[in-house]
Amino acid sequence: MPDQVDTVQPSVISIVEKAVPVRPRGLNFLSIWLRDLVISLAISAFVVIFLYQPVKVEGPSMMPSLDDQERIFVNKFVYRLEAIQRGDIVVFQYPRDPSKSFIKRIIGVGGDRIRISNGQTYVNDKPIREDYVPSSFMDEQSYREVTVPQNSYFVMGDHRNVSKDSRFFGPVKSSLIYGKAVFGYWPMEKMGRLR
Protein backbone atom coordinates (compact mmCIF):
# COMPACT_ATOMS: atom_id res chain seq x y z
CA MET A 1 0.00 0.00 0.00
CA PRO A 2 1.57 3.22 -1.06
CA ASP A 3 2.24 5.89 1.54
CA GLN A 4 -0.58 8.31 1.80
CA VAL A 5 0.35 11.91 1.74
CA ASP A 6 -2.03 14.50 2.93
CA THR A 7 -2.19 17.25 0.47
CA VAL A 8 -3.90 20.54 0.59
CA GLN A 9 -5.14 22.20 -2.43
CA PRO A 10 -4.12 25.80 -2.50
CA SER A 11 -7.10 28.03 -2.49
CA VAL A 12 -7.29 31.57 -3.48
CA ILE A 13 -7.73 33.77 -0.46
CA SER A 14 -8.75 37.26 -1.14
CA ILE A 15 -7.29 39.66 1.32
CA VAL A 16 -9.37 42.67 1.96
CA GLU A 17 -7.50 45.32 3.86
CA LYS A 18 -9.53 47.16 6.37
CA ALA A 19 -9.15 50.88 6.27
CA VAL A 20 -7.24 51.94 9.40
CA PRO A 21 -8.06 55.47 10.42
CA VAL A 22 -4.96 57.64 10.13
CA ARG A 23 -4.69 60.51 12.59
CA PRO A 24 -4.14 63.82 10.93
CA ARG A 25 -0.54 64.88 11.26
CA GLY A 26 -1.44 68.20 12.91
CA LEU A 27 -3.44 66.43 15.64
CA ASN A 28 -0.47 64.19 16.48
CA PHE A 29 1.83 67.22 16.70
CA LEU A 30 -0.68 69.02 18.94
CA SER A 31 -0.96 66.11 21.39
CA ILE A 32 2.85 65.86 21.66
CA TRP A 33 3.11 69.61 22.15
CA LEU A 34 0.42 69.56 24.88
CA ARG A 35 2.14 66.66 26.65
CA ASP A 36 5.47 68.53 26.63
CA LEU A 37 3.77 71.69 27.85
CA VAL A 38 2.15 69.89 30.79
CA ILE A 39 5.47 68.27 31.75
CA SER A 40 7.27 71.63 31.49
CA LEU A 41 4.64 73.34 33.63
CA ALA A 42 4.85 70.59 36.26
CA ILE A 43 8.65 70.90 36.43
CA SER A 44 8.42 74.70 36.58
CA ALA A 45 5.84 74.53 39.38
CA PHE A 46 8.09 72.16 41.34
CA VAL A 47 11.09 74.48 40.92
CA VAL A 48 9.12 77.60 41.94
CA ILE A 49 7.35 75.97 44.88
CA PHE A 50 10.28 74.07 46.35
CA LEU A 51 13.57 75.43 44.94
CA TYR A 52 13.78 78.85 43.28
CA GLN A 53 11.30 81.68 43.24
CA PRO A 54 11.53 84.80 41.09
CA VAL A 55 11.13 87.97 43.16
CA LYS A 56 10.91 91.67 42.31
CA VAL A 57 12.73 94.01 44.68
CA GLU A 58 10.60 96.97 45.70
CA GLY A 59 12.20 100.03 47.25
CA PRO A 60 15.74 101.36 47.63
CA SER A 61 16.65 99.81 51.02
CA MET A 62 19.13 97.30 49.54
CA MET A 63 20.89 99.69 47.15
CA PRO A 64 23.47 99.51 45.67
CA SER A 65 23.47 95.69 45.99
CA LEU A 66 19.89 95.47 44.73
CA ASP A 67 18.08 98.26 42.92
CA ASP A 68 14.40 99.11 43.08
CA GLN A 69 12.46 96.93 40.58
CA GLU A 70 15.38 94.54 40.10
CA ARG A 71 14.40 90.90 39.47
CA ILE A 72 16.18 88.14 41.39
CA PHE A 73 15.90 84.44 42.17
CA VAL A 74 15.47 83.32 45.76
CA ASN A 75 16.68 79.84 46.74
CA LYS A 76 13.98 78.43 49.02
CA PHE A 77 15.72 75.12 49.69
CA VAL A 78 19.27 76.13 50.64
CA TYR A 79 18.59 76.64 54.36
CA ARG A 80 17.48 73.03 54.68
CA LEU A 81 21.05 72.08 53.80
CA GLU A 82 23.11 74.85 55.40
CA ALA A 83 22.84 77.39 58.20
CA ILE A 84 21.94 81.03 57.70
CA GLN A 85 25.15 83.06 57.88
CA ARG A 86 26.17 86.65 58.44
CA GLY A 87 26.23 88.48 55.12
CA ASP A 88 23.48 86.42 53.49
CA ILE A 89 20.76 88.41 51.73
CA VAL A 90 17.47 86.86 52.83
CA VAL A 91 13.79 87.20 52.05
CA PHE A 92 11.42 86.93 54.99
CA GLN A 93 7.91 87.66 56.12
CA TYR A 94 7.70 91.05 57.79
CA PRO A 95 7.32 90.33 61.54
CA ARG A 96 4.59 92.97 62.00
CA ASP A 97 2.60 91.88 58.94
CA PRO A 98 3.42 88.38 57.61
CA SER A 99 1.47 89.08 54.40
CA LYS A 100 4.39 91.33 53.33
CA SER A 101 7.89 90.18 52.40
CA PHE A 102 11.12 92.06 53.09
CA ILE A 103 14.63 91.56 51.76
CA LYS A 104 17.63 92.43 53.97
CA ARG A 105 21.15 91.32 54.86
CA ILE A 106 21.96 89.15 57.90
CA ILE A 107 24.16 91.12 60.30
CA GLY A 108 23.88 88.99 63.45
CA VAL A 109 22.86 85.44 64.34
CA GLY A 110 21.45 84.01 67.57
CA GLY A 111 23.65 84.90 70.55
CA ASP A 112 25.45 87.79 68.83
CA ARG A 113 25.64 91.17 70.52
CA ILE A 114 24.93 93.95 68.03
CA ARG A 115 25.46 97.67 68.51
CA ILE A 116 25.94 100.64 66.21
CA SER A 117 28.07 103.63 67.14
CA ASN A 118 27.99 106.67 64.82
CA GLY A 119 27.14 104.41 61.87
CA GLN A 120 29.79 101.75 62.60
CA THR A 121 28.27 98.32 63.25
CA TYR A 122 29.82 96.11 65.92
CA VAL A 123 29.21 92.39 66.31
CA ASN A 124 30.40 90.99 69.66
CA ASP A 125 32.39 94.22 70.25
CA LYS A 126 34.27 93.89 66.93
CA PRO A 127 33.69 96.41 64.13
CA ILE A 128 32.58 94.68 60.96
CA ARG A 129 33.73 95.64 57.49
CA GLU A 130 30.79 96.35 55.22
CA ASP A 131 32.10 96.96 51.70
CA TYR A 132 28.55 96.68 50.37
CA VAL A 133 27.54 99.93 52.16
CA PRO A 134 28.88 103.04 50.36
CA SER A 135 29.76 105.95 52.63
CA SER A 136 26.93 108.02 51.12
CA PHE A 137 24.43 105.35 52.25
CA MET A 138 25.73 105.14 55.83
CA ASP A 139 23.51 106.16 58.71
CA GLU A 140 25.52 108.15 61.28
CA GLN A 141 23.13 107.31 64.11
CA SER A 142 23.85 104.98 67.01
CA TYR A 143 21.87 101.98 68.19
CA ARG A 144 21.98 100.52 71.69
CA GLU A 145 23.45 97.05 72.15
CA VAL A 146 21.07 94.11 71.79
CA THR A 147 21.64 90.39 72.07
CA VAL A 148 20.04 88.45 69.23
CA PRO A 149 17.78 85.69 70.62
CA GLN A 150 18.45 82.10 69.61
CA ASN A 151 16.77 81.08 66.33
CA SER A 152 16.55 84.75 65.35
CA TYR A 153 18.58 87.11 63.15
CA PHE A 154 19.44 90.80 63.16
CA VAL A 155 18.91 92.14 59.62
CA MET A 156 19.71 95.47 57.99
CA GLY A 157 19.38 96.98 54.55
CA ASP A 158 22.51 98.10 52.69
CA HIS A 159 21.10 101.62 52.23
CA ARG A 160 21.14 102.44 55.93
CA ASN A 161 19.63 105.91 55.54
CA VAL A 162 16.30 104.60 54.24
CA SER A 163 16.10 101.00 55.46
CA LYS A 164 13.45 99.89 57.93
CA ASP A 165 15.05 96.83 59.49
CA SER A 166 15.88 95.17 62.82
CA ARG A 167 16.76 98.59 64.22
CA PHE A 168 13.03 99.34 64.00
CA PHE A 169 11.19 95.99 64.25
CA GLY A 170 13.73 93.88 66.14
CA PRO A 171 15.33 90.53 65.27
CA VAL A 172 13.59 88.23 62.77
CA LYS A 173 12.69 84.69 63.82
CA SER A 174 14.14 81.92 61.64
CA SER A 175 10.62 80.62 60.96
CA LEU A 176 9.88 83.83 59.02
CA ILE A 177 12.89 83.51 56.69
CA TYR A 178 11.94 81.58 53.57
CA GLY A 179 14.83 82.04 51.17
CA LYS A 180 18.26 83.33 50.24
CA ALA A 181 18.66 85.82 47.39
CA VAL A 182 21.17 84.16 45.06
CA PHE A 183 20.99 85.48 41.51
CA GLY A 184 19.92 88.66 39.74
CA TYR A 185 18.49 88.26 36.25
CA TRP A 186 17.02 91.65 35.34
CA PRO A 187 18.13 94.21 34.28
CA MET A 188 20.65 92.40 32.10
CA GLU A 189 23.59 94.59 33.13
CA LYS A 190 23.18 93.42 36.74
CA MET A 191 22.76 89.75 35.87
CA GLY A 192 24.83 87.51 38.08
CA ARG A 193 25.38 85.94 41.47
CA LEU A 194 24.51 88.13 44.44
CA ARG A 195 26.99 88.82 47.23
Length of the chain measured in residues:
195
User: How many other CB atoms are there within 10 angstroms of residue 63's CB atom?
Assistant: 20
Q: What is the 3-state secondary structure (H, E, C) of 72-99?
A: EEEECCHHHCCCCCCCCEEEEEECCEEE
| 18: annotated active-site residue | no
Name the catalytic one among 61, 65, 163, 166: 61
Task: Please check whether residue 89 is in contact with residue 105, taking contact to mean a CB–CB distance below 8 angstroms.
Answer: yes
Which stretch of DSSP H or E encloses residue 43? helix 25-46
Alpha carbons 170 and 148: distance in angstroms, whole number: 9
CB-count burial class (<10 Å; 0-12, 13-18, 19+) for 83: exposed
The Cα diameter of the chain in Å comes to 128
| 164: annotated active-site residue | no
Name the catalytic one among 104, 152, 166, 180: 104
The residues assigned a catalytic role are 61, 104
